[in-house]
Amino acid sequence: MTFAAMAAGCGSDKMPVAQLPEIDTSNPLLAEWDTPYATPPFDRIELAHYAPAFETAIACSRAEVEAIVNNPARPTFKNTIVPLERQGALLNRIAGVFYNLLSADTSDEMQQIALEIQPKLTELSNDISLDPELFARVEAVYKHPGWGLSLEDKKLLEDTYKGFARSGAALSDEDKELYRQYTTELSALTLQFGQNSLAATNAFTLNITDPKAVAELPAFVKEGMAAEAKARGEKGWTVTLQHPSYLPFMTYSSNRELKEKLWRASNSKALGGEFDNTENIKKIANLRLKIANLLGYDSYADYVLENRMAENAATVNAFLAELLDATKEYADKDYRMIADYAASLGFEGELMPWDWAYYTEKYKDEKYALSDEVVKPYFKLENVKKGVFMLANKLYGLNFTPDESIPVYHPDVTAYDVTDEEGRFVAVLYLDFFPRASKRAGAWMTEFRGTKTVDGAETRPLVSLVMNFTKPTETTPSLLTFDEVETFLHEFGHSLHGMLGQGTYESLTGTNVYRDFVELPSQIMENWATEKEFLDLWAVHYQTGEPMPAEIVERIVAAQNYLAAYANVRQLSFGITDMAWHSLTEPFEGDVEAFEVASMAPTQVMPVVAGTAMAPSFTHIFSGGYAAGYYGYKWAEVLEADAFSLFKEKGIFNREVADSFRENILSKGGTEHPMKLYVAFRGHKPETKALIDKMNLK
């Protein structure tokens, strides 16, 4: 066996493996990575390397699993559960590179490779989870675990057994074949859904050549639009459906005709047309229902929520209803307040969704003198980054040093060595800030490698933050909106969860926690964005270097609950429609748009616009991991509101509180039940009241 194979994980961890595939070490995905910290050698990886690397890695995984199954010794935790956790290291390494780049820097060729590889990965997953001999060994250990298992060992054993049971291992042979069929189809459909959503986003642009149509726009908006037009070989000014392009135009333009066109395009992405996702939605929802029924659940939500902090659909629905009941009337007041304000400025008729950003920005500027134009000069991206790094240092003693020796996958990306107060290596952090056609919309944290410890040797994580922030222009650096500052802090919170993880088993470290718990470390970080003590340390004008004036900081603090009820109900609407799609108990063959209107009706604040729907581009639930889980954002808001109150009480940079949060939340990963971890930090269970109080509704 070559050292490269062992380094990558094929037959590693002293596992006896028969019939190992031959390793082509000329393929950089299969060779030993001699880069700093064994980071991916992006500069050497070509598209042609992926398919053969996946084929080899899949063969490796099969050989590793076969070795576990054929072990003649009595099943034990060490000879069955641990090697099962360790198998697939090579495959995970390759998939970590490929699927992260598929989202962050894709191409038509990569998307085609994904369509070809995905069925093979699903087949492998099914072959492992549905292997009766393998499950028999796992079940034997689960029933008779033996002595000497640590708390972490016991959690891995429990998760492994449940993972098999929830993946069809206990089904009849006939039902196993159905499970294979359903999951294979579902895997392909969710991948296609995401590709359609990205294609629909990129397919629409609005090019403006009349100077009068952009005359009123702030300079930073016009510069961004001009740069977009130039990059596309167009004259004038161009708006796309990418958030940093779309939102500024909607916010500052008074041209209702153009804004309505943009809004309708944005809110009907993949609803009909060349990249239609409506049939995919029906098929995805129905396949998920079939899988749930096959496994003995009435709905897909029942299946998903069994392994969540909330535990069941009844709890989730009651939680969403409680928040809606407490805030809906205030959200309606928010809408009426803005509508009345628009009328006072001469607006006639019904305030429509495409009017909202314009008038809410004008109202905020009038009431708080806090338009984007006021704050953006103090939020130069480099300064925001400095502030975020400073916060991590004050709370957790982390230091961030750019490392140009680490290969990156795109010129926009910067890699950082992350070290602790003693100078010990903690992680590599990649930062990728700006939108491009090859990157999907939104912002996210991901990993190229997680944390684990094998034979006393610890592997530290490679963490990546991918965002879509306002681009610099030829004359102006990247200046962030306040929302973008909050987004940076949010995603950075996820990265802290990944970077500060400790543990033996990768599947239990970092962000590998219940989906409705994973947003706590991210959402709590947003609180610092409205803390004067924090802003005073780094928020300076990008041209003069003058600190952000105290009155602007005070306005930011005063405005932190501006339209809070409306924003809350909007988020609830997403969670409620998600639950509606995944609480189906009968196959769905109806109209996607009509279903969305009905499911969102209790949360409706704005007028309903025919011919639009968010579901066809709702990638979180139809191609991501948030199916029957979008409520988790609000769930985590309750957790963070309660958790941050301790920082407010003790001091926002208090190391004692930060150390406790690190010890009980960030470092523990999924080694214990999240409620136990939360109570260990806070001293009591969270209450919904904490979030309602934080919104300060009046």
Give the residue numbers marked as catalytic: 491
DSSP-derived pairing of the beta strands 452-454 and 457-459:
antiparallel
Q: What is the largest CA-CA distance in the chain?
A: 83
Tell me the C-alpha distance between 374 and 541, whole Å: 10
- Sorted by sequence, the CB contacts under 8 Å of residue 257 that are 6+ apart come out as none
- Sorted by sequence, the CB contacts under 8 Å of residue 526 that are 6+ apart come out as 486, 489, 490, 493, 640
CA nearest neighbour of 631 among 623, 641, 621: 621
CB 2 within 8 A of CB 31: no
Q: What is the DSSP letter of 431?
A: E
Tell me the C-alpha distance between 176 and 131, whole Å: 10
Strand-pairing partners, residue 547, are: 540
CB 695 within 8 A of CB 331: no
Q: What is the DSSP letter of 660?
A: H
What length does the chain have?
A: 698
Q: What is the DSSP letter of 428?
A: E
Tell me the C-alpha distance between 221 and 247, whole Å: 10
Coil vs helix vs strand at 316: helix
CB 481 within 8 A of CB 257: no
Q: What is the DSSP letter of 562?
A: T
CA nearest neighbour of 280 among 189, 196, 201, 195: 189
Helix axes 313-344, 564-582, angle to 10 degrees: 140
CB 307 within 8 A of CB 323: no
CB 185 within 8 A of CB 221: no
Strand-pairing partners, residue 205, are: 240
First to last CA, the chain: 69
Q: What is the DSSP letter of 547?
A: B
Tell me the C-alpha distance between 423 and 30, whole Å: 31
Coil vs helix vs strand at 239: strand
Helix axes 243-252, 219-231, angle to 10 degrees: 140
* C-alpha distances in Å from residue 599, one per residue of 298, 407, 580, 581, 596: 19, 47, 6, 9, 5
Tell me the C-alpha distance between 270 and 198, whole Å: 9
- Sorted by sequence, the CB contacts under 8 Å of residue 476 that are 6+ apart come out as 219, 220, 223
